[in-house]
Amino acid sequence: MEEKRHRKQKAFNPVSPVVVVLAATILGVELVLQAGEQRLFGGPGAEGWRLELMRNFGFHKAVFDHVLTGGTLEPKVIWPFLSYIFINGDFIRVLISSALILAMGKMIADMFSTAAVLVLFIGCGLAGSLAFGLFSAKDGFPLIGAFPVFYGFIGTYTWIRIYEALAKKQSILPAFYPVIMFVILRTAFALMYGMSHSWMADLAGVITGFLLAYILAPDGKDRIRGWIRALRSR
């Protein structure tokens, strides 16, 4: 009876507060933009809010080049490395990305701490902007949207599935189903919206989410200590 109650409680674990706040912020920004575009408030100028936010908070390759060449690190130069996550092109993409971040974030938060989930969010977001800065074309469309973070969560969840499969001495092949989902989703968005350089940011997110899981997992500290001992013994 006790075990049954424990399973029931585990099935209905609440979503991590940090995941809720981040997804709600992404959705909240879009709701404000939608209200402005519908002229519910803000006056005629509100219709241009989205473009203004994309210009000031989207991640442009010029920002990356500025930092790379030793330019001054002002706040307006630094914040686009992460602020792009909260600016989206339309309402549909916001609904999809925020819902997927909530779903994947809940599954990750069942194993990882709140702080680890926040580090994953920031780390995958930064990896996305850096990859976009390295490989995108000059004077192109800026990087916007939360998909690099969502795909980063896919990478972390893939690591969790592999970890669990190895612990149970099972095949790890099913663990790669989330990565297959990444390919399918990315292909679907390419067909709907056209291929863009943002796929590099999404791929960087997947890889970063997978790699960060090694050190952010509950036993990550022990794993790091093992690596250090192995290096010292050489």
Answer whether residue 194 shows pLDDT above 90.
no
pLDDT band at 2 (very low <50, low <70, confident <90, very high): very low
Mean pLDDT (the chain, rounded): 83
From the list 126, 113, 14, the residue with the least C-alpha distance to 59 is: 126
Burial 150-182 (b: 16+ CB within 10 A, else e): bbbbbbbbbbbbbbeeeeeeeeeeebeebbeeb
Which whole number is the average pLDDT over 159-170? 88
Which whole number is the average pLDDT over 154-160? 92
Which whole number is the average pLDDT over 106-110? 89
pLDDT at 190: 66
Residue in this structure with the two tokens 């630094």, named with its chain if needed: 78
pLDDT band at 117 (very low <50, low <70, confident <90, very high): very high
The pLDDT tens digits of the residues spanning 63-96 come to 888 888 887 778 888 899 999 999 988 888 888 8
Answer whether residue 121 shows pLDDT above 90.
yes
pLDDT at 65: 87
From the list 147, 121, 131, the residue with the least C-alpha distance to 209 is: 121
Top-confidence range, 48-62, 113-127, 197-211: 113-127
- Write out the two tokens for 229: 């001992």
DSSP state letter for 176: G
pLDDT at 63: 85
pLDDT band at 132 (very low <50, low <70, confident <90, very high): very high
pLDDT band at 196 (very low <50, low <70, confident <90, very high): low
pLDDT at 1: 36
Answer whether residue 199 shows pLDDT above 70.
yes
Domains of the chain plus CATH, in order, are: 2-226 (1.20.1540.10)
User: What pTM was computed for the model?
Assistant: 0.84
